[in-house]
């Protein structure tokens, strides 16, 4: 099948590449010339494990091309996927300008038998508006389906290749059948292909993210209570996780959720509720708890140093909003950096993949370190914000030698408090017994 994917960001690039890998002819279209130039030079504009090899292979076999020319990209395409960004505006509502721009640009160039498929996360009802807009501008309708994406950055290729489920929202069963055929190679292990209305498909994406964000805020709130009541959240987590009705996933306390999805999608859902006079009290709380949680780690730092904080130098390990990505959108590290810079602290930061993105924001306000240990040199303490695998078993002897004061603020509970304290460190976790 000939396919165009509009938007070659975290979702679009993975979608285009994986669809090419299953034998389709795919053109990735992006308006960002620098992105396309990077792709054409054989590099990736983002970091995503396993993606570069897959892009290289499919380009070599000429199943995958990139262009900034939308008309050339969609020419002859049977399927046109849209994966442009849908960020929040100032009110928390979803900014759909990129999506409408694509609708208007597609109208004069798509053929009658094209199927346009929205992968971008969009408010419920957008599918209908998109189809109406396209039909009005063309003078004739085309099929517009909704196909929310559930991939996780850091494991995006695997998630796309082996999805738990594929959800499509269609108005005509025939469109569902075309998409079923497209996804068949990815669903060979009996994982379901779920066909529903576009409205239900759009809603499914928000509900999935709302549930996951709720779990995170829930355990974070419980962790803060544990700390005050001298219970250890890690024991409590294990105590509840074995109950199959609860499980372990997404019940790790931390510095608050970030990323391009949970913050904007919970905000959007609240906004969608307001529009139809449904007060989403739980979602409001989830968001409020998360905003508060992003301040927990900086508060621990401030409480430890007191008035002596000004002029201190701290090391920070982990800046991406989660491991195995370079994405720093809404990352808790940014709140920490802003708070500590404002308090007169100098920062030596390290992240395996996100340094460039952080440098683009902070320039020479931070010291950027290529290695975790070089960040510790001369620092008065270490703050861990993201749980990259390589931070899990550090050499505490080396760390103690490099740091001016042996203190660790561990935002991800990577270490056992007793063991770290045994090495002579002052140790703060999230929801752990403090002494």
Catalytic residue numbers, as ranges:
261
**193 within 8 A of 180, measured Cβ to Cβ:** yes
Candidates 17-25, 147-155, 298-306, 387-395; binding stretch for ligand NAD (CB under 6 A): 147-155
Verify binding: residue 85, ligand NAD, rule CB under 6 A: yes
Q: Whole-angstrom Cα distance, residue 301 to residue 430?
A: 12
| Nearest to 124, CA basis, from 72, 185, 202, 50 | 202
73, 208, 275, 352 from 347: Cα distances, Å: 45, 36, 43, 16
Q: Which stretch binds ligand NAD (CB under 6 A): 24-32, 130-138, 179-187, 223-231?
A: 24-32
DSSP letter assigned to residue 88: B
Instruction: Name which of 153 and 227 has its Cβ closer to ligand NAD.
Output: 153
Number of helices (H), then strands (E), belonging to the chain: the values are 18, 14
Q: Which is nearer to ligand NAD, 271 or 312 (CB)?
A: 271
Contact between 194 and ligand NAD (CB under 6 A)? no
Closer by beta carbon to ligand NAD, 58 or else 121: 121
86 binds ligand NAD (CB under 6 A): yes
Q: Is 388 helix (H, G, I), strand (E, B) or coil?
A: coil
Stretch 111-130 residues interacting with ligand NAD (CB under 6 A) = 119-121
Per-residue interface string for the shown chain with ligand NAD, residues 243-282, x marking contact by CB under 6 A: -----------------xx---------------------
What CA–CA distance (Å, rounded) separates 263 from 283? 11
CA gap 306, 301 in Å, rounded: 8
Where does residue 108 rank: exposed (0-12), middle (13-18), buried (19+ CB within 10 A)? exposed
102 binds ligand NAD (CB under 6 A): yes
Q: Which is nearer to ligand NAD, 58 or 209 (CB)?
A: 209
Region binding ligand NAD by CB under 6 A among candidate stretches 10-18, 223-231, 316-324, 386-394? 10-18
| Binding of ligand NAD by 82 (CB under 6 A) | no
Selected binder of ligand NAD within 149, 227, 351, 380 (CB under 6 A): 149
CA distance 323 to 328: 11
Distances (CA, A) of 352 to 10, 73, 401: 18, 34, 22
Does 104 participate in binding ligand NAD (rule CB under 6 A)? no
Residues at the contact surface with ligand NAD, assessed by CB under 6 A:
6-12, 29-32, 35, 83-86, 98, 101-102, 119-121, 149, 151, 153, 260-261
């Amino acid at each position: 099948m000939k396919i165009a994917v509009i938007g070659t960001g975290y979702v679009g690039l993975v979608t285009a590449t994986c669809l090419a890998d299953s034998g389709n002819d795919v053109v990735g279209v992006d308006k960002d010339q620098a992105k396309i130039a990077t792709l054409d030079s054989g590099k990736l504009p983002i970091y995503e494990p396993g993606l570069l090899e897959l892009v290289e292979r499919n380009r070599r076999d000429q199943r995958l091309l990139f262009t900034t020319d939308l008309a050339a990209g969609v020419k002859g395409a049977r399927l046109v996927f849209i994966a442009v960004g849908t960020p929040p505006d100032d009110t928390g509502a979803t900014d759909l300008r990129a999506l409408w721009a694509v609708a208007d640009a597609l109208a004069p160039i798509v053929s009658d038998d094209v199927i346009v498929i929205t992968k971008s996360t969009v408010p419920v009802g957008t599918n209908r508006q998109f189809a109406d807009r396209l039909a009005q501008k063309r003078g004739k309708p085309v099929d517009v389906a909704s196909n929310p994406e559930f991939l996780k950055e850091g494991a995006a290729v695997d998630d796309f290749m082996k999805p738990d489920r594929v959800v499509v929202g269609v108005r005509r069963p025939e469109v569902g059948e075309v998409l079923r055929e497209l996804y068949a190679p990815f669903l060979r292990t009996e994982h379901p292909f779920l066909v529903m209305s576009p409205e239900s498909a759009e809603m499914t994406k928000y509900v999935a993210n709302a549930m996951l964000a709720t779990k995170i805020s829930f355990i974070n709130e419980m962790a803060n209570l544990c700390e005050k009541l001298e219970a250890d959240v890690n024991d409590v987590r294990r105590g509840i996780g074995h109950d199959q009705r609860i499980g372990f996933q997404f019940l790790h306390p931390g510095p608050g959720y970030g990323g391009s999805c949970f913050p904007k999608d919970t905000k959007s859902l609240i906004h969608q509720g307001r529009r139809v006079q449904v007060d989403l009290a739980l979602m409001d709380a989830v968001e409020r708890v998360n905003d508060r949680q992003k301040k927990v780690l900086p508060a621990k730092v401030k409480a430890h140093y007191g008035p002596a904080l000004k002029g201190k130098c701290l090391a920070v390990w982990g800046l991406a909003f989660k491991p195995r990505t370079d994405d720093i959108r809404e990352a808790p590290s940014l709140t920490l950096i802003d708070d500590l810079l404002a308090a007169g602290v100098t920062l030596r930061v390290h992240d395996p993949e996100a340094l460039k993105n952080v440098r683009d924001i902070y320039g020479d306000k931070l010291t950027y370190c290529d290695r975790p240990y070089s960040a510790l040199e001369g620092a008065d303490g270490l703050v861990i914000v993201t749980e990259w695998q390589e931070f899990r078993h550090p050499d505490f002897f080396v760390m103690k030698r490099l740091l001016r004061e042996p203190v660790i603020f561990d935002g991800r509970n990577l270490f056992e408090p007793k063991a770290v304290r045994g090495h002579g460190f002052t140790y703060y976790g999230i929801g752990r017994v403090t002494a």
